[in-house]
């Protein structure tokens, strides 16, 4: 089976994809934006094992993103289990030469449609550890169907479902398609957005909502208050904020999850 895109094709992984897979997956910029189970360096052995695994799936859950006949990335679904058995996560990666072309957006739209029309799911959400913020991934909230889920309560009166999973719902596929996805690495996107907002600004205070985000207690978080932001950079999968006085708060995106900008107060 194949899912046709304007700029390429989604199809199952197959033998013969190994050289192209290694070429594009064996890239630190790709690995930095994925979960740690994605190998780096990415070897021919890794490619062979992945294609054997993905090729045995029924139904297909992982697709190669094919451009000009070559597999240059991948997108896939991870099905939930137990009480989450009607949910799934969606993620993707793309070789750096193909960033910024809208290919990831098309791929995620296609695999979203495929998930709801082919699989017995009623909820689809971006894989949080792959750094896909829901709003930037196109959903105002995780794509959900209330109808077609036997025994599930109905939403509040007048609260529309974000998506549906059965034709009888009468909602169009467009209602559940993601609108746009990040075409650049997530940490890079955060740096681009944060730089004009906080560089040179004074950090008034730091508030910790959960202790699980804190990996060091010395110096205390309160030491950052009142200091000026002098720089921003990335170190691996981490976002580093430089403050005057040589203090450097570090945010691990894979642990902290999505970042949201809110007005002061």
What average pLDDT score do residues 5-15 get? 94
Look at residues 170, 188, 111, 99 and name the one whose alpha carbon lies nearest to residue 143.
111
Q: What does the pLDDT read at residue 176?
A: 45
Could you give the angle at the alpha carbon of 236 between the alpha carbons of 96 and 240, nearest 5°? 120
The H or E element spanning position 116 is helix 103-118
35 vs 118: CA distance, rounded Å? 26
Q: What does the pLDDT read at residue 81?
A: 87
At 230, give phi and psi (nearest 5°). Answer: -105, -10
At 5, give phi and psi (nearest 5°). Answer: -110, 165
Any idea which of 3-7, 113-117, 135-139 has the lowest mean pLDDT? 135-139
Helix crossing, 44-55 with 18-25: angle to 10°? Answer: 120
pLDDT tens readout for residues 153-189: 333 334 333 344 433 343 433 344 444 445 455 677 7
What average pLDDT score do residues 203-231 get? 84
pTM listed for this prediction: 0.60
Q: How many residues does the chain have?
A: 265
Q: What does the pLDDT read at residue 217?
A: 73
Beta-sheet strands, E only, within 127-237: 143-144, 229-235
Look at residues 65, 70, 66, 78 and name the one whose alpha carbon lies nearest to residue 37.
78
**Which fold, 3-175?**
Aminopeptidase (3.40.630)
Q: Domain map of the chain by residue range?
A: 3-175, 186-256
CATH class of this structure's domain 186-256: alpha beta
Q: What does the pLDDT read at residue 129?
A: 41
At 251, give phi and psi (nearest 5°). Answer: -110, 120
Beta-sheet strands, E only, within the chain: 3-4, 9-12, 62-67, 70-79, 87-94, 123-126, 143-144, 229-235, 238-243, 250-252
């Amino acid at each position: 089976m194949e899912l046709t895109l304007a700029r390429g094709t989604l199809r199952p992984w197959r033998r013969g994809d190994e050289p192209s897979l290694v070429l594009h997956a064996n890239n630190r910029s790709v690995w930095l934006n994925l979960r740690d189970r994605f190998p780096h360096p990415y070897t021919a052995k890794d490619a062979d094992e992945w294609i054997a695994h993905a090729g045995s799936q029924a139904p297909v859950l992982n697709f190669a993103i094919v451009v000009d006949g070559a597999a240059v990335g991948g997108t896939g679904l991870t099905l939930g289990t137990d009480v989450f058995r009607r949910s799934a996560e969606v993620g993707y990666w793309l070789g750096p030469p193909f960033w910024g072309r809208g290919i990831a957006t098309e791929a995620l739209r296609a695999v979203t449609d495929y998930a709801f029309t082919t699989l017995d799911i009623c909820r689809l959400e971006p894989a949080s550890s792959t750094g896909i913020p829901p709003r930037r991934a196109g959903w105002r909230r995780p794509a959900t169907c209330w109808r077609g889920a036997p025994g599930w309560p109905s939403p509040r009166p007048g609260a529309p479902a974000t998506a549906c999973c059965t034709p009888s719902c009468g909602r169009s596929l467009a209602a559940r398609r993601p609108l746009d996805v990040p075409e650049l690495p997530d940490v890079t996107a955060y740096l681009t957005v944060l730089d004009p907002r906080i560089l040179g600004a004074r950090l008034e205070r730091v508030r910790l909502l959960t202790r699980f985000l804190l990996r060091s207690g010395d110096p205390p978080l309160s030491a950052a208050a009142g200091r000026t932001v002098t720089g921003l950079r990335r170190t691996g999968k981490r976002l580093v904020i430089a403050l005057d006085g040589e203090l450097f708060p570090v945010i691990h995106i894979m642990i902290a999850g999505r970042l949201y900008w809110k007005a002061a107060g």
